[in-house]
Amino acid sequence: MVKPRVYVTRVIPDAGLERIRAVADAEVWEGDEPPPYEILLEKVEGLDGLVSLLTDRIDAELMDAAGGSLRVISQMAVGTDNIDLAAATERGIPVGNTPGVLTETTADFAFSLLMAAARRIVEGERYVKAGKWVTWGPTLLMGHDIHGATLGLIGFGRIGQGMAKRARGFGMRVLYAGPSVDEGTARELHAERRDLDELLTESDFVSLHVPLTEQTTHLMADREFKLMKPGAILINTARGPVVDPGALYRALKEGEIAYAALDVTEPEPIPVDDPLLTLDNCLIVPHIASSSLATRSRMATMAAENLEAGLKGEKLPHCANPEVYG
């Protein structure tokens, strides 16, 4: 029997790739960088399934370039803001994603960023490696306490709630903004709801956990930074464009907030000459919050499962556009 044809836009962990190869005739883009859009347009022609990453632009034009054969798009990520979901739905193409499996790993990482920023760990490491450590300093690299501080979570879904659990272990007070959760969950996590402005005004740490949509693009801009406490710290593990980078630069430079720790930037990757990279109070890492060995393997497996279901014409176990099923 002829196997369905699938394109995988990067080398993903073996756990997923082996599973994909077992059910499909799979071509894999071997480059370290994403395939250029023009290449994708060519590759997609006549495909049955596409395994994508958040670095690929998957729009209506690309879907149409498949020529009507595309039965499933399976993305190895929970976020799908790179995919035109409405266009996929219009064309009857289900889009898979990987929610749940990366929640704890991403919350671990967001909390690590919070701690690294609060206690200036990266600055400390640079200081030592630069040979500047000549004595114990009574005011050296003074940071911010985590225990007893208030953590404001913008977005209180799975990962936001994961942050709340961790914060409780550190004796933090937890606030959240966004759609309200049921009373039981809020009570269990000791989280109090606030509107966005109240949360920004009251929090010592503000951590972003919203998907990127039209409403959340540049949700954090000049006005919002002005509302934050001068000693406050921003953590972004959501999507880069949730923060206006120009406004963040100004806020950090002018001391309107103390520090930012970013796993995601706008654009990605951040250019080496971006002004944010000149600031000591801005810690930036390359979008690695879900990158543990176990979790990336689980994400790849889940992407393979979604792909397989879609190729068989079955409902995807995790579908980002369930409306496609009517």
Chain residues that interact with ligand GLV, rule: CB under 6 A:
54, 77-79, 102, 290
Peptide bond into 269 cis (omega under 30): yes
Q: From the CB of 139, what's the least distance to ligand GLV, in Å?
A: 38
Q: From the CB of 77, what's the least distance to ligand GLV, in Å?
A: 3
Strand order across the beta sheet in which 72-75 lies: 25-28, 5-8, 49-52, 72-75, 95-96
Toward ligand GLV, which CB reaches closer, 71 or 287? Answer: 287
Report how far apart, in Å, the C-alpha atoms of 326 and of each of 51, 64, 77, 90, 322 are.
23, 21, 24, 11, 8
- Catalytic entry in 18, 90, 268, 323: 268
Toward ligand GLV, which CB reaches closer, 282 or 289? Answer: 289
Q: From the CB of 199, what's the least distance to ligand GLV, in Å?
A: 23
Toward ligand GLV, which CB reaches closer, 189 or 299? Answer: 299
- Catalytic entry in 5, 71, 209, 287: 287
- SS3 percent helix, strand, coil of the chain, rounded to 5, is 40, 15, 45
Q: From the CB of 289, what's the least distance to ligand GLV, in Å?
A: 7
Give the ranges where 179-240 is alpha helix by DSSP (H): 183-188, 196-202, 222-227
Toward ligand GLV, which CB reaches closer, 78 or 189? Answer: 78
Toward ligand GLV, which CB reaches closer, 217 or 281? Answer: 217
First to last CA, the chain: 31
- Catalytic entry in 5, 166, 239, 298: 239
Give the ranges where 233-278 is alpha helix by DSSP (H): 245-253
148 Rama sector, left if φ>0, alpha if ψ -120 to 50, beta otherwise:
left
For residue 84, the one-letter residue type is D
* 209/84 Cα distance (integer angstroms): 21
Q: From the CB of 82, what's the least distance to ligand GLV, in Å?
A: 9
Note if 239 is an active site residue: yes
Note if 190 is an active site residue: no
Q: From the CB of 298, what's the least distance to ligand GLV, in Å?
A: 11
Q: Residue 279 is inside which H or E element, if any? A: none
* 220/238 Cα distance (integer angstroms): 12
| CA torsion through residues 78, 80, 85, 88, sign | negative
Toward ligand GLV, which CB reaches closer, 159 or 324? Answer: 159
Query: Which sequence positions are flagged as catalytic?
Result: 239, 268, 287
